[in-house]
Homo-oligomer: A and B are copies of this chain.
């Protein structure tokens, strides 16, 4: 049983222009003066639970065992939605019960709790639970309280559909899961499940043929676009030194379809 190590990651849709993230950290330091806080990102599109879940799922394993992952994308703040406290073999998680933890919980053995609100600040607003509830819970978990003291045992949690692709007989149905700063298009389709190139890929209104799978961006110099294995092991569509998402006017969330040819199916 790994104990909280004192390292906490923070993932929100608060942005950095307001002092909200700083204030959450102030409360965390108040409860846990020895805490080490690492920002995962705060630029998740407001209320975009899928995007938060994606960023967390592919990042959390790169942190030391015992890290507490705090994720506050919380469109239901102030309602009766519950707050999840979760523990897998190596990590702790705190987040609203809205699907953001679902991909991790779906795929890992875990203990789950619904947080008691009494562990929050004495005066709790209805619009900023990151400060008033999540931070005190995380600070207590890192210092004085066991996870089972902070919440009631729970089994169910809100699911997040379409996080993983669907493999049908004649096609793979996936998502354009993430567009990064460089304009690379990162899908949720595992690289090793792809047919051999050339293969078709349909994104939004585009029907394209992926002719090239390269190992590096540099190899694709001079090509319009190409596929490669993204750093998380999924299919990525990119262009050398060119923001493909801007050029194609694509945003995260579009459905993707990859038709499977007969010869592939019979493998």
A41 surroundings in chain B (CB, below 8 A): 16-19, 21-22
A33 located at the interface, meaning its Cβ lies under 8 Å from any Cβ of chain B in the complex: yes
* A26 B63 Cβ-Cβ under 8 A: yes
Interface size on A, residues (CB 8 A): 65
Interface string of A116-142 (1 = CB under 8 A from B): 000000000111100110000000000
CB distance from A248 to the nearest CB of B (A): 17
Please provide the chain A residues from 10 to 30 with a CB less than 8 Å away from any CB of chain B in the complex.
11, 13-23, 25-27, 29-30
A21 surroundings in chain B (CB, below 8 A): 39, 41
Q: A228-B126, A228-B127 are in contact. Are A33 and B64 (CB under 8 A)?
A: yes
User: Which of A21, A126, A180 has the most CB atoms of chain B within a 10 A radius of its CB?
Assistant: A126
Contact of A62 among B30, B36, B46 (CB under 8 A): B30
A58 located at the interface, meaning its Cβ lies under 8 Å from any Cβ of chain B in the complex: yes
Copies in the complex: 3
How far, in whole Å, are A64 and B13 apart by their CA atoms in the complex? 25
Contact of A9 among B11, B22, B59, B67 (CB under 8 A): B22
* B128 A231 Cβ-Cβ under 8 A: yes
* B22 A40 Cβ-Cβ under 8 A: yes
* B40 A19 Cβ-Cβ under 8 A: yes
CB distance from A239 to the nearest CB of B (A): 12
A229 located at the interface, meaning its Cβ lies under 8 Å from any Cβ of chain B in the complex: yes
CB distance from A167 to the nearest CB of B (A): 24
* B180 A217 Cβ-Cβ under 8 A: no
Please provide the chain A residues from 144 to 176 with a CB less than 8 Å away from any CB of chain B in the complex.
none
A25-B38, A29-B38, A125-B229 known; 20 new pairs, CB 8 Å cut-off, are A7-B33, A16-B16, A17-B180, A17-B181, A18-B180, A19-B59, A22-B41, A26-B67, A27-B62, A29-B36, A46-B181, A75-B217, A75-B241, A76-B216, A79-B219, A126-B216, A126-B228, A127-B228, A127-B236, A132-B231
